[in-house]
C-alpha cells in the first residue's frame, strides 16, 4: 500500500515544474514578510508593541 502511495507521489511531483515551486515559495516568503512588516508598523503607530 505504501509502495503504491510512493509511486503516486512521484508521478505527481514529476508533473509540477521546478520553476513553479520556486516561484510559489518565493512569493510565500515575500507575502509573509510583507504581513510581518505591516504588523510591526501598525503596532508602532498604535503603540501596541
Has residue 44 been placed in a domain? yes
What is the span of the domain harbouring residue 49? Answer: 22-49
Distance CA 29, CA 21 (A): 12
Which residues of the chain fall below pLDDT 50? Answer: none
Number of domains in the chain: 1
pTM more than 0.85 = no
Alpha-carbon dihedral of residues 30, 36, 39, 41, nearest 10 degrees?
A: -80
Has residue 8 been placed in a domain? no
Distance CA 26, CA 14 (A): 20
pLDDT for residue 27:
84
pLDDT for residue 21:
65
pLDDT for residue 32:
92
Amino acid at each position: 500500500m505504501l509502495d503504491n502511495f510512493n509511486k503516486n507521489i512521484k508521478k505527481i511531483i514529476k508533473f509540477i515544474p521546478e520553476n513553479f515551486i520556486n516561484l510559489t515559495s518565493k512569493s510565500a516568503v515575500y507575502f509573509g514578510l510583507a504581513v510581518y512588516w505591516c504588523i510591526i508598523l501598525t503596532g508602532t503607530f498604535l503603540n501596541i508593541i
